[in-house]
Structure 1
Amino acid sequence: MKLTRSVFLAAVSAGFVSLPAHATENGQVRALLGGPAQELSSPQFPGWYGQVWLQHYRANKVRDDQGRTNVATLGGQAVRLQPKIEATVLVPRVTYISELRYLEGRVGASVSLPIVHQRNSIDFSGPLPPAALAAAGDARSGSKSGLGDAEISTFLDWQTDDYRLVGSLGVVAPTGAYDKDRAVNPGAGDFWTLRPGLVAAYVWENGFEVGSRTTYSFNTRNRDTDVRSGQYLHSDFSGLYRLNDTTRVGLQGFVLKQTTRDSGPGVASHGNEVQSLGLGPLVGYTSEDGRWAAEVKVLREFSVRNRPQGTISYLRLQLRLD
């Protein structure tokens, strides 16, 4: 982790974030954790689609490399953290599925651009002068709003009545504002992410359906900090049951696992390898004509390492545009 304030005399064991849906060096990833669900196993016909995710994240725990909660080292002394991390992220996305086929799969593309508002409030307590503790907390606290980092993806989509497979290749560009000396940033930094992915889903006649979207991310070096964030696996999955033609209920989850260490100036010896799992209930609705859909879900994080642990709430809308 790149420390940006001299008041931090020793590396804080826990990984701080700038945005739970974005970033990497500070315990985050460029990924919408738990985002896709019922659309994974829903038919996607040629045409234009608009999607909007509204995500709210709240955390008051930060876990370190050993899973300890809200512990840090400051000036050579063990101190406690009292973090309050909150973010609201609006993610518009446009998807196009063409009539063109390659290897029997339909060719498509999508573009998404997050809009971020985040607030971090970090307090310290421990055997240090109150002024030093207050200064350390102020250095890691703040709020910021703005555009995040845009993702452009191309894909091939294979569908039958029973299953769906989608192979994709995405690129995340550093379009969001970023300042290495600022505690909170809408963007992750001045680097690019290359992201291959695979969607797999299956539907049974008895009403059950499962779907997953798995990606693997490669990051270039952040030119602002000279830190290269490690590679990571991110998989969203859902298990749903169709109550009728319009309503689904079930579970949504995700797995996040960093597989290689961060590298560069100031990186901790454990490489800041992040990990998080999430799981929670979902309710989805699709209109009778299939032109629009909505879903609500709440996911709790667990088994977390080197990042905050909190709750993610979603409202998602999808609309056929043509």
Structure 2
Amino acid sequence: MKTAKALPMTMAFLTAFATWTPANASEDFQLRYNLAGSLGGELFAPMGQTGWAGGLAATYMDINKVTGNDGNSLTRSVPGGTVPLPNLPQALYPTYGDSTAQISGTGSMKQLNLGLAYVTKERFADGRFAFLLNLPFAKKIQNFDASGIAPALTWNPVVPAPVRAMVATGFSTQYAAGLQKQADDASGQVSGIGDTELQAGWLYVRDRMRVLAGASIVLPTGKYSPSSGPDIGYGNYYTFRPAFQATYLLTPEVAISGKVTWAVNTRNRDNQLRSGNWAGVELAAGYKTPLGVLGIHGLRVQQYQDDSNNPWGNSRLRSTNAGIFFTTKLEAINAAITAQYMATTMSRNSKHGDFSQLRMIKFF
């Protein structure tokens, strides 16, 4: 059997192994929620504020890893297959079993949110209605790396040992190159308008109590593609997100606050993936000093429903975060400024990192 002349051509077979997709699963391992936190120095917001208000928030996200279902760095199973070789009968093609690829995901995002709100002067059931439009603009960078040990090839014993060794060496090299190529395809940067949020709620304010009950709908206005690569939009689907928030002033200088959020997602019309519904809890406590409000806050978001049609499986996202905030008032422009920081402490099927935000709110 003459095979030596065929061996230099065997690189053609090395695209045969099955592929994995590092991006656009679990809607990019994220949820439509502000992981920098939404509770802050507004715990001590003055009573009776009505009319139009404007807001500006600048957020920086530094992602140091993407976690899998066990909370560790992401891995992906690569199914086994057959290696076709030129000038050899199919019966002599080598086969290989399943293997595992280790995936490292990092990145960053700079986001600017413009908000416009209106609080009615009229009272309804002793409270007021509040409406909000939130439009984000962002620049996102993501980088993926993939590595793995090539599986051993299983041969028909009639194939000579020198042939096996030469093919195995080429297979190992191209196996690693194929994994990294897909990681490179999923890496890159993008910028543009994100997903728009519309919110309406009922606001109740008294001497020691503030309550906000309402709901928002997130629209898929951000650019999204089901192919590999970063996206500004979370996906071509809608999210309905009811929420209830309550703040209580224990003393004029000490306040505690809590927020409960529930989210329902529709199916992504571009890739037919439906991200599972989720719920979130956020807590904060603040102390009012002569310079401003200093506090701590934390949040937990978690899917309670499996993803549907997700190549990564059930992929239930879970993220626990904790941080600090400081709010002060700029007397010159009569606006409140809040700086806050949040870091991920535990996560599953999620982006894991640090989140910093600076925001300003002003009533006109």
TM-score, normalised via structure 2 length = 0.78
Matches within 5 A, 1:91-240: 91-128=113-150, 129=173, 130-205=176-251, 207-240=253-286
Per-residue deviation at 1:298?
1.6
CA displacement, residues 2-27 of structure 1 (integer Å, 9 cap, x when unaligned): xxxx9993657xx8579xxxxx5221
Question: Normalized per residue, which structure has more strand?
Answer: 1
Which structure is larger by alpha-carbon Rg, 1 or 2? 2
The equivalent residue for 1:9 is: 18
Is the Cα–Cα contact under 8 Å of residues 41 and 202 in structure 1 kept in the other structure?
Answer: no
Distance 1:35 1:205, change over 3 A: closer
Stretches of structure 2 that go unaligned for 5 or more consecutive residues are 1-14, 80-97, 151-172
* 1:66 counterpart letter in structure 2: D
Structure-2 change in CA distance of 1:17 and 1:239 (3 Å): farther
The counterpart of 2:299, out of the listed 251, 254, 260, is 254
Q: CA RMSD in A?
A: 2.3
Q: Which protein is richer in helix relative to its size?
A: 2
1:300 to 343, 351, 364: 343
Give, as a single letter, the amino acid of the residue that structure 1 aligns with 2:293. R
Matched residues in 2 for 1:114 and 1:258: separation? 24
- Separation (CA, whole Å) in 1 of partners of 2:112 and 2:137: 5
Q: CA deviation at 1:68?
A: 1.8
DSSP-derived class of the 1:313 partner: strand
Measure how far apart 1:185 and its partner are: 0.9
d(CA) in 2 for partners of 1:185, 1:140: 10
Q: Which residue of 2 aligns with 1:291?
A: 334
Structure 1 runs (4+) greater than 4 angstroms displaced: 15-18
Q: Identity across aligned pairs (percent)?
A: 25
Secondary structure of the structure 2 residue equivalent to 1:61: strand
Equivalent residue in structure 1 for 2:28, among 19, 26, 37: 26
* Corresponding position of 2:65: 61
Gaps of 5+ in 1: 1-5, 19-23
Aligned residue for 1:280?
323
Does structure 2 conserve the Cα–Cα contact (< 8 Å) formed by 1:40 and 1:199? no
Count of residue pairs brought into register by the alignment: 306
By how many angstroms is 1:110 displaced?
Answer: 0.3
User: Residue type of the partner of 1:55?
Assistant: T
Structure 1 residues 10 and 134 mapped into 2: Cα distance closer, same or farther (>3 Å)? closer
Q: CA deviation at 1:161?
A: 0.9
SS at the partner of 1:26? helix
What's the counterpart of residue 157 of structure 2?
none
Q: Deviations over 1:228-284 (max 9, x none)?
A: 11111123332111112x4111112211111111112x4444x11100011112221
Q: In the alignment, what sits opposite 1:35?
A: 38
Distance in structure 2 (CA, Å) of the matches to 1:48 and 1:109: 10
